[in-house]
Amino acid sequence: MSPLQPFETAAVVFGRKIIAFGRTQIVQTQPQDWLYVSEGGATIVFAYAGPPHPEFDGKVLRLRKKSTIVDATNAVKDEEPDDAMVAFQRRVISRLVPSQHLPELEFVLLDPSWLNKLAELREADRPQMRRSKDRIDSGKTKGILSTDLVGREGLAVEIKPKWGFLPCATHLSPPTAHVKTHTCRFCMHTYSRSAEKGDNILSAYCPLDLFSGDRQRILNALHNLWMAWYNSDGSHNNLKLFAEGKLVKPSNKPMMDLLSTSLAAESSDSASLEGAFANAIIDLILESPVFQMISSLQQSLDPLDVEGVAKLYMQEHQIGFIDSKTSILGSDVIFDPSLGEWEDFIDAFTNQFPSWDHSNPQRDHLRHYLMAQLLSGTFKDCSVILQPQIPRTSLDFMGKVTIIDLDVKGMSRLSKWQALDREIVECYLGNERPKQCVVGSLE
């Protein structure tokens, strides 16, 4: 079942004609008016570049993808009706994140033949790695129109920062407590990916550096993000660079020249570009409240760690011993919250939740702890788009910082996260030279 049910039914289909009762329809534009921007695991994004139009100017279209590989593990990806996603941002996320750091979202009615035409036109612009796995889901009736945050001029930098804190040891099991309180989840995950899947372009990026609030450490994080981006030819998902609205690939010389112009760099060799890149965004990162906001929401919504949440679940359901390979969380019996329940949760989170004794969680608070874990997961997986002002013409305005991909996660994620946590930690315990990740001191 979907985590959120659609709350508005806007379209009635009579044959091929859609009557939309005042709703925006994508067929008001031509598929060729939309240019490929980028994509993630679940969605693909196009920017409007057609004739002036009040509904579409300055907007991107975010569409769901569907897997072309028959694989049951993909089922969790196809879970949210898009109008409900818009409502989730308006009614839940916006109570935690100020609107100046969120894109505007609204839904748009789609059309299958229009989507197939767009897919055909833009397929060649997609990375081969993504093309082999999925395509635009032309069966969807709604997509999302959102503020275009990469635009068609200048530079935009997208960072997917991931987990910005170390868990507290209280609810961790003895074998995991030491490692999880010393090495951050991202660094352990990087290690386990490399050990298990042979990912040979290791990233030295540590989110705790980026979130530290310390100039030198942030510069170090930017250096490591840049190196992973450069060495993987832009395929690592923690950093994306857009020059004049186009995604830059390090191996593409004309694009690197464009990047050099957008950065006002001295030349387009890698060292000059890296220096100009760090220079362009370091003050914006330091001055903006966004990174601090993300890490503190991630942490305050996850006071028990997935291990503590699982223990509480077992107590509440009077489950005794289970073997270490079984994921107790996220079974089908945990139903997904409705939008109303999410709103009630935010009331509780902003009022009582901080004063609960998280070292002795109460069983009747289980549902709130499960929801908090989900919402923390949203902030652990979001991305940030920075649009620095280059050259800096105003002393008051350094640029814009916006958080994207704040999608709701469903309860079925919990078992995935519990299993992944165990897998990552077990693998990391085999590392003879474990890293010591250091939490910053912004607070």
Ligand X SMILES: Nc1ncnc2c1ncn2[C@@H]1O[C@H](COP(=O)(O)OP(=O)(O)OP(=O)(O)O)[C@@H](O)[C@H]1O
Nearer to ligand 5MY, 18 or 309 (CB): 309
Cα separation, 333 vs 341, in Å, equals 17
The tokens of 377 are what?
A: 């997961």
Give the count of residues interacting with ligand X (CB under 6 A): 23
Residue 127, interface with ligand 5MY (CB under 6 A)?
no
Q: How far is the CB of 10 from ligand 5MY (least distance, A)?
A: 25
Count of CB atoms situated within 10 Å of the CB of 344: 14
Which residues, 202 to 261, sit near ligand 5MY by CB under 6 A?
A: 237
Nearer to ligand X, 40 or 434 (CB): 40
Residue 45 binding: pick among ligand 5MY, ligand X, none (C-beta 5-8 Å cut-off by kind): ligand X
Q: How far is the CB of 150 from ligand X (least distance, A)?
A: 4
By CB neighbour count within 10 A (0-12 exposed, 13-18 middle, 19+ buried), where does 439 fall? middle
Q: How far is the CB of 59 from ligand X (least distance, A)?
A: 8
Residue 63, interface with ligand X (CB under 6 A)?
no
Q: Which residues contact 107 (CB under 8 A, 6 or more apart)?
A: 10, 23, 24, 82, 83, 86, 142, 143, 144, 145
Backbone angles phi, psi at 243, to 5 degrees: -115, 125
Residue 148, interface with ligand 5MY (CB under 6 A)?
no
Q: How far is the CB of 408 from ligand 5MY (least distance, A)?
A: 10
Cα separation, 82 vs 296, in Å, equals 27
Q: Near ligand 5MY by CB under 6 A, which window of 39-47, 121-129, 150-158, 307-315?
A: 39-47
Residue 182 binding: pick among ligand 5MY, ligand X, none (C-beta 5-8 Å cut-off by kind): none
Q: Are 288 and 218 in contact (CB under 8 A)?
A: no
Q: Are 232 and 226 in contact (CB under 8 A)?
A: no
Q: How far is the CB of 41 from ligand 5MY (least distance, A)?
A: 2
Nearer to ligand X, 42 or 398 (CB): 42
Residue 377, interface with ligand 5MY (CB under 6 A)?
yes
Residue 42, interface with ligand 5MY (CB under 6 A)?
yes
Residue 51, interface with ligand 5MY (CB under 6 A)?
no
Q: Are 37 and 150 in contact (CB under 8 A)?
A: yes
Q: How far is the CB of 40 from ligand X (least distance, A)?
A: 2
Residue 383 binding: pick among ligand 5MY, ligand X, none (C-beta 5-8 Å cut-off by kind): ligand X
Give the count of residues interacting with ligand 5MY (CB under 6 A): 12
Q: How far is the CB of 96 from ligand 5MY (least distance, A)?
A: 17
Pairing of strands 142-147, 239-243: unpaired
Residue 377 binding: pick among ligand 5MY, ligand X, none (C-beta 5-8 Å cut-off by kind): ligand 5MY
Pairing of strands 43-48, 34-39: antiparallel
> Could you give the 3-state DSSP secondary structure of residue 13?
strand
Residue 240, interface with ligand X (CB under 6 A)?
yes
Count of CB atoms situated within 10 Å of the CB of 111: 17
Nearer to ligand X, 41 or 51 (CB): 41
Long-range contacts of 226-233 (CB under 8 A, 24+ apart): 226/274, 226/277, 226/278, 227/203, 228/201, 228/202, 228/203, 228/204, 230/270, 230/274, 231/201, 232/201
Residue 40, interface with ligand 5MY (CB under 6 A)?
yes
Q: Which residues contact 212 (CB under 8 A, 6 or more apart)?
A: 218, 221, 438, 439, 440, 441, 442
Residue 201 binding: pick among ligand X, ligand 5MY, none (C-beta 5-8 Å cut-off by kind): none
The tokens of 157 are what?
A: 């930098």
* Contact flags string 75-114 toward ligand 5MY, x per CB under 6 A: --x-------------------------------------
DSSP 3-state percent helix, strand, coil across the chain (nearest 5): 45, 15, 40
From 39, 274, 302, 421, residue interacting with ligand X (rule: CB under 6 A): 39
Sheet holding 246-247, edge to edge: 246-247, 239-243, 155-159, 383-388, 399-404
Residue nearest to ligand X (CB): 40
Residue 413, interface with ligand 5MY (CB under 6 A)?
yes
Residue 305, interface with ligand 5MY (CB under 6 A)?
no
* Residues at the contact surface with ligand 5MY, assessed by CB under 6 A: 40-42, 77, 160, 237, 377, 381, 409, 413, 416, 420
- Site residues, ligand X (CB under 6 A): 37-43, 45, 60, 62, 103, 146-150, 158, 240, 381, 383, 404-405, 407
